Structure 1
């Protein structure tokens, strides 16, 4: 029996593959590229748009790690429904789903109609052992070329959150740690929020960069539309617009932090890296 990891060559899936293989687990890397090479894993070409492909991949699996790709919401809804249908048919032993930053509402009934909630609700209704990893923001976003260039060249960390805004940040490595733990901890179900608690502000992020670089870095809030515009050629106009709208909505709230009750710290004993700890492993 093997662990099926979606997006195994990407930013979120690759650390999960590395974590599981380091633990001696058999891993199958699920990608859209049949020619991909993934260290320590068998590669299987699987498309989210094919329920048949997903079902065949999941059947007999010890675990499945799922996260929906960045795409227009209509496509993501199709992918979510296909994953749920495949899980119900194939009955893998365990499914761990990362929301990639979206929040699962406490009632978990999928009533808001988003792909994330539809997938979370579908897993809850499937009867298959599962858990949902719920991060907020990824520290790796701070390494986007137009972000890190400002840090290196101007001593300015720009991001599309208001000044003084507390938020929970996590590394993709923290997601992998949580996923690996949750494959073992089959007694844990429901939502596990992964991120720094309490939340930290942009100014505190900049302070960590200052310490890492040995020179002053200050924080500057950026308009979401201007901030994400450089990503439109890569992500597509609609997906980028969806991200911009999400950040605008988040910025109107008092914070974007996880709660202690749902935290990985409390639920599975996994404490995410501080910004300083994460930066210590980054070549700047």
Structure 2
């Protein structure tokens, strides 16, 4: 029995695959590229467009790690329904789903707007109703976003960390490596179900992120808030116009809240005993 890891050659899935391989687990890397190579893993070409292909991949699996790609919401809704249909048909032993920053909680952490069905809510509700052992990893923002070309260039060249959150706004940041740590534990801790929030608690501000860069580089880095649509516009060629606009819209909505923090009650710290890296700890492993 193997662990099926979606996006195992990408930013989110690769650390999960690597962590499981390092732990001696059999891993199958699910990727759209049949020629991809993942050291220590079998590679299987499959994507989210076919529920039948997904079910074939999931059948007999010890665990499945799944997340939705960066794509227009209409496409993600179709992918979400295919994932749920495949899980119900194949019935793998355990499914761990990362919301990739979307909110699945309804316990006061920000919640979701159930008046408008989202792709994340389709997967979360579908897993909850499937009868399959599952858990949902719910991060807020990824520290790796701070390495985007339009962010890191300002840090290196001007000593300015520009990001699309207001000055003083606190958020629970996490690394993809933290997600991998939590996913690995959740495959073992089948007693833990539902939402597990991953990120810094207490939450940190942009100014505190800039301080971490200052310490890492040995020179002053300051924080500068940038309007979300202006911030994400240069990334449209990489993300796609629709996806970039949708992400910017999300940041606009988030910025109207008091903060974007996880709560202690649903945190990986409390539920699993897994503490995420601080920004300084994360930066220590980054070649700047």
TM-score class, shorter: over 0.9
1:79 and 2:83 equivalent? no
Q: Does the CA contact (< 8 Å) of 1:110 and 1:120 recur in 2? A: no
Q: 3-state SS of the aligned residue for 2:57?
A: helix
Please list, as runs of the form range in 1=range in 2, the aligned pairs for 1:154-233 lying within 5 A after superposition. 154-233=158-237
Query: Structure 1: which 4+ aligned runs deviate by more than 2 Å?
Result: 107-112
CA distance in 1, matches of 2:252, 2:283: 27
Q: Could you tell me which residue of structure 2 aligns to residue 49 of structure 1?
A: 49
Q: Could you tell me which residue of structure 2 aligns to residue 135 of structure 1?
A: 139
Q: 1:177 Cα deviation (Å)?
A: 0.1
CA distance in 2, matches of 1:90, 1:259: 34
Alpha carbons of structure 1 residues 73 and 173: separation in structure 2 relative to 1, 3 Å: same
Please list, as runs of the form range in 1=range in 2, the aligned pairs for 1:142-161 lying within 5 A after superposition. 142-161=146-165
How large is the Cα RMSD of the aligned pairs?
1.1
Q: 3-state SS of the aligned residue for 1:193?
A: strand
5+ unaligned residues in a row in structure 2: which ranges?
A: none
Count of residues in Structure 1 that have an aligned counterpart in Structure 2: 284
1:15 and 2:18 equivalent? no
Q: 1:230 Cα deviation (Å)?
A: 1.4
1:282 and 2:286 equivalent? yes
Q: 1:237 Cα deviation (Å)?
A: 1.0
Q: Does the CA contact (< 8 Å) of 1:110 and 1:121 recur in 2? A: no
Q: 1:244 Cα deviation (Å)?
A: 0.6
TM-score normalized by the length of structure 2: 0.97
Q: 1:231 Cα deviation (Å)?
A: 1.2
Alpha carbons of structure 1 residues 137 and 95: separation in structure 2 relative to 1, 3 Å: same
Q: 1:111 Cα deviation (Å)?
A: 5.4
5+ unaligned residues in a row in structure 1: which ranges?
A: none
Q: 3-state SS of the aligned residue for 1:37?
A: coil
CA distance in 2, matches of 1:260, 1:196: 10
Q: 1:229 Cα deviation (Å)?
A: 0.9
Q: Could you tell me which residue of structure 2 aligns to residue 249 of structure 1?
A: 253
CA distance in 1, matches of 2:67, 2:43: 17
Q: Could you tell me which residue of structure 1 aligns to residue 92 of structure 2?
A: 92
**1:118 aligned to which of 122, 125, 131:** 122
Q: Does the CA contact (< 8 Å) of 1:49 and 1:78 recur in 2? A: yes
Q: 1:109 Cα deviation (Å)?
A: 10
- Residues 109-162 of structure 1: per-residue CA shift (max 9 Å, x gap): 965400001110000000000000000000000000110000000000000000
Alpha carbons of structure 1 residues 255 and 43: separation in structure 2 relative to 1, 3 Å: same
CA distance in 2, matches of 1:158, 1:61: 42
**1:260 aligned to which of 244, 259, 264:** 264
CA distance in 2, matches of 1:145, 1:245: 20
Q: Could you tell me which residue of structure 2 aligns to residue 6 of structure 1?
A: 6
